[in-house]
């Protein structure tokens, strides 16, 4: 069903504002009071009017009349043609938080690791699987990668292709593979520089000094967004970084010296302790909820913590290896080596959407309509990057080469 067919009845009492303008927009769209996680793209001479929705007794912000274009949202595509009305209000701010417009399927990119060059290199491809290109030339064993929020550069951990290089190092590269920066060059080698987080202003990461004769300490580092100006924020017996806060002005970490999960300022000082059962933590900037999981043993299951109240509740007893938030912050995708599930943040409506041999992921697309993951197809010996609709329909294998492929990020 197109977007036009979902509009309520509108009463237009007359022109409130009448002006012509040239639109060239790519912004999120709030359509008749309901947020659509997508884009509105218009480039046409349009006239603006004030309108009133009689049913809901609310004033809408504008009407775009006589415009030719397409609107994309959670329900797919809908067209608006000359002579038709598109009612809604345009607002700035993304569906996943952070104040940036969400990326549509036709412009988004999937980062993935692949063994096709005889090592786990870093690649990117279009959301439909086309244009698969290498962006980490001369590096091996990429282990985790993440776009910066602006989608202009990629931060990743990898091993250099040099003899006896058993440690991971941190790199920054443009999305076209140019301007590769070895962030940690000249700093003590570390054993776990795959543990990092990225914000618009900073890169945070943790690691051990492997060359030191002193008892091993885990260090929390912070650099500027360009990879320069590295400083040590604190040293603990063991510290792991989960993510930056949605505002980017603090870090969520787990510290053995602090006895659990803590929120640190950008000087390494503890702002507060945070309730969490342990394990990997994902922070939804949309709803300010934290999701975590315990794979097995005592406490096995999936947990959600309200950051504002610091109240944690168990929402599922499933044993999962991966979880990620839907961009709306109200649902999670859960996965283990045998299946994928969707569950609401309050624990309701748990349902399985895929059964198969999973090897990595899963990740939601920026608009929340699709999920990408790594799976081992029948009669195959290597994992492939696959995509399905968020409801589990329309399975599509994106990578077809006879090599192992694993998704890393989708933005």
- Mean pLDDT, range 222-230, rounded to an integer: 94
Q: Mean pLDDT lowest for which of 95-104, 145-154, 266-275, 355-364?
A: 95-104
Confidence label for 180 from pLDDT (cuts 50, 70 and 90): confident
Residue 240 pLDDT exceeds 70: yes
Whether pLDDT at 79 is above 70: no
At residue 60, the pLDDT reads: 35
Mean local confidence (pLDDT), 194-202 = 90
* Beta-bridge partners for 73: 76
N- to C-terminal Cα separation, the chain: 26
Question: CA torsion 304→321→132→144, rounded to 10°?
Answer: 80
Q: Which fold has domain 151-274?
A: Neuraminidase (2.120.10)
CA distance linking residue 378 with residue 184, whole number of Å = 41
pLDDT of residue 28: 40
pLDDT at 11: 36
Looking at the DSSP bridge assignments, the partners of residue 20 are: 47
Per-residue tokens: 290: 């934290």
CB contact at 8 A, 155 and 172: yes
Phi, psi of 110 (to 5 degrees): -110, 125
Q: Are 157 and 170 in contact (CB under 8 A)?
A: yes
The Cβ of residue 69 has, within 10 Å, a number of other Cβ atoms equal to 17
Taking the model in full, what pTM does it have?
0.73
Q: How far apart are CA 339 and CA 281, in angstroms?
A: 20
256-304 pLDDT, tens per residue? 999 999 999 999 999 999 998 878 899 999 999 999 999 888 899 999 9
Give the DSSP per-residue string, 62-105.
EEEES--EEEEETTEEEEE-TT-EEEEEE--S-TTSTT-PPPPT
Copy the structure tokens of residue 97: 């938080």
Q: Contact 183/223 with Cβ under 8 angstroms?
A: yes
Taking only the tens place, the pLDDT of each residue in 44-78 is: 333 333 333 333 333 333 333 333 333 333 333 33
Mean pLDDT value of segment 368-390: 90
Q: What are phi and psi of 6, to 5 degrees?
A: -100, 5
pLDDT (0 to 100) of residue 304: 97
pLDDT band at 140 (very low <50, low <70, confident <90, very high): low
What pLDDT is attached to residue 211? Answer: 63
Q: Is 6 helix (H, G, I), strand (E, B) or coil?
A: helix
Domain locations in the chain as residue ranges: 4-90, 151-274
């Amino acid at each position: 069903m197109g977007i036009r067919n979902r509009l309520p009845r509108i009463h237009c009492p007359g022109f409130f504002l009448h002006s012509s303008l040239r639109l060239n927009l790519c912004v999120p769209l709030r359509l008749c009071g309901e947020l659509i996680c997508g884009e509105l793209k218009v480039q046409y001479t349009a006239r603006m009017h004030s309108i009133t929705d009689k049913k809901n007794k609310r004033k809408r912000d504008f009407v775009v009349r006589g415009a030719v274009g397409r609107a994309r949202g959670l329900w797919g595509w809908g067209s608006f043609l000359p002579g038709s009305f598109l009612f809604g209000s345009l607002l700035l701010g993304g569906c996943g938080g952070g104040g940036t417009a969400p990326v549509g399927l036709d412009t988004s990119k999937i980062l993935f690791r692949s063994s096709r060059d005889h090592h786990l290199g870093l690649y990117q491809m279009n959301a439909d699987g086309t244009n698969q290109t290498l962006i980490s030339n001369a590096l091996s064993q990429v282990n985790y990668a993440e776009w910066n929020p602006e989608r202009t550069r990629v931060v990743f951990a990898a091993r250099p292709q040099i003899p006896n290089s058993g440690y991971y190092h941190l790199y920054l590269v443009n999305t076209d593979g140019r301007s590769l920066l070895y962030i940690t060059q000249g700093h003590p080698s570390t054993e776990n520089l795959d543990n990092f987080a990225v914000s618009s202003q900073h890169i945070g990461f943790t690691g051990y000094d492997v060359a030191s004769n002193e008892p091993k300490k885990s260090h929390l580092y912070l650099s500027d967004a360009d990879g320069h100006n590295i400083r040590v924020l604190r040293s603990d017996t063991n510290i792991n970084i989960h993510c930056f806060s949605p505002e980017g002005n603090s870090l969520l970490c787990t510290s053995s010296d602090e006895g659990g999960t803590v929120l640190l300022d950008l000087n390494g000082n503890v702002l507060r302790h945070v309730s969490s059962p342990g394990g990997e933590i994902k922070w939804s900037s949309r709803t300010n909820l934290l999701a975590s999981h315990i794979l097995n043993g005592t406490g096995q299951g999936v947990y959600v913590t309200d950051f504002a109240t610091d109240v944690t509740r168990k929402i599922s007893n499933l044993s999962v290896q991966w979880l990620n938030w839907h961009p709306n912050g109200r649902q999670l995708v859960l996965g283990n080596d045998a299946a994928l599930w969707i569950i609401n943040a309050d624990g309701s409506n748990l349902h399985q959407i895929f059964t198969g041999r999973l090897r990595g992921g899963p990740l939601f697309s920026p608009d929340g309509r699709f999920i990408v993951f790594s799976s081992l197809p029948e009669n195959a010996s290597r994992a492939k990057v696959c995509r399905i609709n968020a409801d589990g329909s329309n399975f599509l294998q994106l990578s077809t080469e006879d090599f192992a492929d694993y998704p890393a990020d989708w933005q």
